[in-house]
Amino acid sequence: MLIRLVGLVTIEPSGAPSRHLSGAQAQVAFARLVIERAGGTERDQLAETVWPEGLPDTWASALRSVVSRVRTFVTMPQDEPGDAALVAQGGRYVLRVPGDAAVDVECAELAVTEANAAFAEGAFAVAQQLASGAVSNLRGSFLPSHEGEWVNAMREQLEELRLTALEVASLSSSALGDEHHALRYAEEAVRRAPFRESAYRCRMTAHKRAGNRAEALRSYHQLRRVLAEELGTDPAPETEAAYLEILRTPEPRAPQRPSAVLDPFLMGVFEVGRNVSGPRPCILGRACATHRGHGAAQSPATSAAASPAA
């Protein structure tokens, strides 16, 4: 079973159609119950998450209605009577999911951790695969129809996770010589976080590995201008070091076209101004399939030697 909280809130059971949960209140309650399923969620905290601008007068009964919707959503046809997937225990709501259930945001977090470790060990192909998979899992918005302290905190965590995944995917792609994906991931990271220096360094690395020294330097100068104009700061020492390394890298030389190699015999055929008294003899003689049986072209000297004396 796969539970998706980013984008459409869905449950994808193994071998069964996906189930979509509608309604902003039910979605945010389900999301928090999933994230905190290990220890459960206090009833008051769940209510404040559902109604972040203030609890209604009848919030207790309204919360029970929201929880009932979530319980119906998570209950599977094969569940035995009495085996409730969502129960109330000591002022908390506890969501029970199958042991093999996976949650998209948790899978992404684990993948990014493993991608960082693989990159540090030089396993760039593994790092690229894990990081790009995390990026795919985090495509979309987290509960776009809901606001509140808990939702905003989760969005910040997921955005940081997404940016880290983009950077690891870009750097590992650069290390593998995959210029297209290296630049694509770096550009997305810069677009999502225009003041994030590590994202600019990824883009500088992608251009440098692609042999585009000018674009790498231009990316640095863009960062320097943005930081100065918007934040009043200079790039960090790590970024300056990356810039100096690019400066020390020689500009790639343009490839030279190889000199044409001409056949000396053909050069003789196409010499301009040469006084040729007759056609050249075929270099294959009688073995030439084109001339055999049709009278091979002969030079005047050859014709004179072959003709009978007058």
With a pLDDT cut of 90, the percent of the chain lying above it is 67
Mean pLDDT in residue range 216-234: 95
Q: Which tens digits make up the pLDDT trace of 161-194?
A: 999 999 999 999 999 999 999 999 999 999 999 9
Residues 242, 170 share a domain: yes
Residues 175, 151 share a domain: yes
Alpha helices in the chain (DSSP H): 24-35, 43-50, 59-74, 104-120, 124-137, 149-175, 179-192, 197-209, 213-226, 237-248, 264-269, 300-306
Specify the pLDDT at position 89: 87
Residues 122, 84 share a domain: no
Q: Where in the sequence is the domain holding 233, given as residue range(s)?
A: 103-248
Specify the pLDDT at position 98: 84
Specify the pLDDT at position 281: 53
- Top pLDDT among 306 and 15 is at 15
Q: Residue 267 falls within a domain, yes or no?
A: no
Q: Residue 20 falls within a domain, yes or no?
A: yes
Residues 177, 212 share a domain: yes
Q: Residue 124 falls within a domain, yes or no?
A: yes
Residues 202, 122 share a domain: yes
Q: How many other C-beta atoms can be found within 10 angstroms of the C-beta atom of residue 214?
A: 10
Q: Residue 291 falls within a domain, yes or no?
A: no
> HSE of 97 in the Cβ direction (CA atoms, 13 Å)?
23
Q: Residue 306 falls within a domain, yes or no?
A: no
- The last residue of one of the domains, among 100, 130, 159, is 100
- The last residue of one of the domains, among 198, 228, 248, is 248
- Top pLDDT among 99 and 94 is at 94
Residues 95, 230 share a domain: no
Specify the pLDDT at position 228: 95
Mean pLDDT in residue range 202-227: 95
Mean pLDDT in residue range 58-70: 94
Residues 135, 81 share a domain: no
| CA–CA distance, 91 with 42 (Å, rounded to integer) | 6
Q: Which tens digits make up the pLDDT trace of 111-169?
A: 999 999 999 999 999 999 999 999 999 999 999 989 999 999 999 999 999 999 999 99
Specify the pLDDT at position 298: 46
Specify the pLDDT at position 78: 62
Specify the pLDDT at position 125: 97
Specify the pLDDT at position 245: 92
Residues 219, 135 share a domain: yes
- Top pLDDT among 86 and 264 is at 86
User: What is the arrangement of strands in the sheet containing 92-95, beginning at the earlier edge strand?
Assistant: 41-42, 92-95, 86-89
Specify the pLDDT at position 257: 52
With a pLDDT cut of 70, the percent of the chain lying above it is 78
pLDDT surpassing 90 at residue 95: yes
Q: Residue 307 falls within a domain, yes or no?
A: no
- Top pLDDT among 300 and 23 is at 23
CATH, residue 156: 1.25.40.10
- Top pLDDT among 310 and 161 is at 161
CATH, residue 69: 1.10.10.10
Q: Residue 187 falls within a domain, yes or no?
A: yes
Specify the pLDDT at position 79: 59
- In contact, 197 and 219? CB cutoff 8 Å: no
Tell the residue number behind the tokens 């209604």, with chain if given.
56
- The last residue of one of the domains, among 232, 248, 264, is 248
Residues 130, 117 share a domain: yes
Q: How many domains does the chain have?
A: 2
Residues 189, 90 share a domain: no
Specify the pLDDT at position 97: 87
| CA–CA distance, 143 with 84 (Å, rounded to integer) | 25
Q: Pairing relation of β-strands 41-42 and 92-95?
A: antiparallel
Tell the residue number behind the tokens 């189930």, with chain if given.
19
Closest CA to 145 of 35, 46, 62, 26: 26
Residues 90, 112 share a domain: no
Residues 118, 78 share a domain: no
- Mean pLDDT across the chain: 84
Q: Residue 272 falls within a domain, yes or no?
A: no
